[in-house]
Every structure is written in structure tokens, then in C-alpha cells.
Amino acid sequence: MTTATSLVPTQHGASICRGCWDQMRVPIPIRGALALPFRAFGITRSKMNPNICTICERSFRYVKKQRHITTRATILFADMRGFTQLSGRIGALELSDIVSLFQDRCAQAVWAHDGIVNKQMGDGLMAIFNFPIAIKDHARAAVSAAMDMQRAHATALDGAKLGEDGVTDRTLGVGIGIHSGDVEVGEFSSFRSDFTAIGGTVNLAARLESQAAAGEILVSAETADQMPEILGDAEARLLSLKGIEHTVRANVLRVN
Ligand SMILES: [Zn+2]
């Protein structure tokens, strides 16, 4: 067992899949010479996170011995703001560059905090923290990733002169929603084998994101309660959200 223990990944760029290790305690090589025979069988690094492999991405039932499980996680949704207006102003080629830069920057921020980019939907994405890579403080990891995203996009937008008068459009930016709670993780489609998360926690995170203006991170009370120090003088906002009966309290975070 000492061999396996010495392979336990503790940092980024780990040589074995962190998902398979955290979920099954099975060391699957994803980098270096040991990974080559696996690659011959189509087992490579996942596009959801380069530190997990295609086994934990596509073989949920094999990994968890069930079709789906209930687990605690933090869900993050991010979406470009001002994208519709922008599409009317610039060419398709430029637009696709902007979207892929947005997706790349978001993915880097998610991966830096051990989350996975579970879905990419055009100018938006959904990230999961705490599955399949186990993260003790997943709420904090998600909020840190969101702050990194906003910083990266703010820097990029500062350099962009998109308005006719050369002034950056203030409506252009990224809106983010974050919520923590129980989610159902597993395979829910008969024609896709990659796993995803569903349930009320996921829906609320998506609704929060839809209410976030450019530059804002809307953090639910459940997520914020796990890191009271980040609240500081953060604005609290009461929201009536579509499909949710009670009023939801969210904390609004901005990076500057
Ligand atoms: Zn794996």
C-alpha cells in the first residue's frame, strides 16, 4: 500500500487521477510514462478538469456502483453579460474568440480551486466543487474561483475598447451565482454517459446567476455562512426567484 500512498496527489499537475483516487482509492496514471498504456485504451485527461480522467467523467456507475448518489457540493454558474448586444456589434469570428477566451479564463479559475467544469453552454458554464475531487471547504473554493474569474475578466475588459467612443461598455462582464447543499450526482441521460448534478441546489445556483449583474457574484446564505469573514460589508439582497416560493437572501460580492 505504500506505493499507492506515495502517489496520493496533493497538488495541481498530479500524476494520477484525483477523481478516481478520491472516489475509489484507485491510482489511475494520467501523466508520464505510466499513463501511456491507459491512453491506448482511451483513458485520458478529462476536459472537465485536467487532473481527473475520462473514467470518472464517463463511467459514473462503475466508479460509484450506483446510477446516482446524493452528496454535498457547491455549484457555480457563470454567464457573460451584455453578450446579446455585443453580438449585434461585432463579427461572428470575433464573437467566437471572445466566448472561447471567456470559457478558458473561467475553466482556469475553476481548476485552480479543484472544481470541475461540468457543462459549457455557449456563453455560460456550470461548475461543481467537491465531486469527483473531494474538497473539504468546497464553498470557499467556489467563491475563490468566482473572485479569480471576475479579476481575470475585469483585467481583460479594461484592455478592450468596445464602445464607439472607445469607452469600455459597463454592461459587459460576467455574472456569477453560487449555492451549496445536497445535490444528486450521476448519469441522468440515456444517450450521454458523462455525469452531472441536478436538484434544488443546482436550480437555486442557476437562478442566482440569472440575477447577477456584470461584475457581481451572488452567494447564497448557505454558502456565505461557511465563510463569514468574506461577507464583511458585502451588500445583502433579498430576491424573489422564479420557481422558488420563499424570498432568498443573497450576498453580493464584487472584486473591486
Ligand atoms: Zn478518474
Per DSSP, the residues of 187-252 read: ---SS--S-EEESHHHHHHHHHHHHPPTT-EEEEHHHHTT-HHHHTTPEEEEE--TT--S-EEEEE
pLDDT in tens, 17-62: 999 999 999 999 999 999 999 999 999 999 999 999 999 999 999 9
What pLDDT, in 10s, does the model give residues 207-255? 999 999 999 999 999 999 998 887 777 889 999 988 888 899 999 999 8
Ligand 1 centroid to Cα of residue 50, in Å, is 10
**Is residue 79 predicted with pLDDT exceeding 80?**
yes
- DSSP per residue, 119-171: EEETTEEEEEESSSS--TTHHHHHHHHHHHHHHHHHHHHHT---STTSPPPTT
Range of the domain at 141: 69-254
* Residue-wise burial string across 99-132, b where 16 or more C-beta atoms lie within 10 A, e elsewhere: beebbebbbebbbebbbbbbebeebbbbbbbbbb
> What is the domain-level CATH number for residue 119?
3.30.70.1230
Q: How confident is the model at residue 162 (pLDDT cuts 50, 70, 90)?
A: low
Residue 194 C-alpha to ligand 1 middle, in angstroms? 12
Same domain? 167 vs 97: yes
Same domain, 85 and 27: no
Query: Quick one: residue 74, left, alpha or beta (phi over 0 = left, psi -120 to 50 = alpha)?
Result: beta
Number of domains in the chain: 2
Q: Give the per-residue pLDDT at 9.
A: 47
- 195, 212 Cβ separation under 8 angstroms: no
Residue 11 CB-density burial (10 A; 0-12 exposed, 13-18 middle, 19+ buried): exposed
* Residues 96 and 222 occupy one common structural domain: yes
Q: Which of 35, 58, 81 is the last residue of a domain?
A: 58
> How far away, in angstroms, is 51 Cα from ligand 1 center?
8
Q: Are residues 144 and 235 in the same domain?
A: yes
- Grid coordinates representing 132? 469527483
- Which of 9-23, 165-179, 195-209, 226-240 shows the lowest per-residue confidence on average (mean pLDDT)? 165-179
Asked if the structure places residue 237 within a domain, the reply is yes
Place of cell 453579460: 81
Q: Are residues 45 and 153 in the same domain?
A: no
More confident residue, 255 or 88: 255
**Same-domain check for residues 53 and 98:** no
Same domain for 52 and 78, yes or no, is no
Cell 457555480, residue?
76
Pairing of strands 248-253, 217-220: antiparallel
- Dist. CA 162 → ligand 1 center (Å): 42
Longest dimension (CA), the chain: 65
Ligand 1 centroid to Cα of residue 20, in Å, is: 4
Q: Provide the grid cell at 135.
A: 474538497
CB atoms closer than 10 angstroms to residue 185 = 25
Q: What's the gap in Å between 55 CA and the centre of ligand 1? A: 5
What spacing in Å lies between the alpha carbon of 124 and ligand 1's midpoint?
25
Q: Look at residue 86 in the predicted model and tell me its pLDDT.
A: 77
Does 63 map to a domain?
no
Q: From ligand 1's centre to the CA of 45, what distance in Å?
A: 8
CA–centroid distance, residue 189 to ligand 1 (Å): 20
pLDDT for 105 equals: 94
Residue 64: inside a domain = no
Shared domain for 80 and 196, answered yes or no, is yes
d(CA 101, CA 87): 15
Whole-Å CA distances, 72 to 52, 54, 94: 19, 22, 39
C-alpha 15 to ligand 1 mean position (Å): 11
Mean pLDDT of 54-80: 95
C-alpha distances (whole Å) from 137 to each of 90, 145, 162, 223, 253 are: 41, 13, 38, 10, 18
Q: For the residues 138-161, what does the mean pLDDT come to?
A: 86
DSSP letter at 32 equals S
Taking CA atoms, 205 is separated from 47, 152, 210, 237, in Å, by 22, 21, 9, 15
Measured in angstroms, how far is the CA atom of residue 16 from the centroid of ligand 1?
Answer: 8
Q: Tell me, what DSSP letter sits at residue 33?
A: G
Residues near ion ligand 1 (CB < 5 Å) are 17, 19-20, 52-53, 55-56
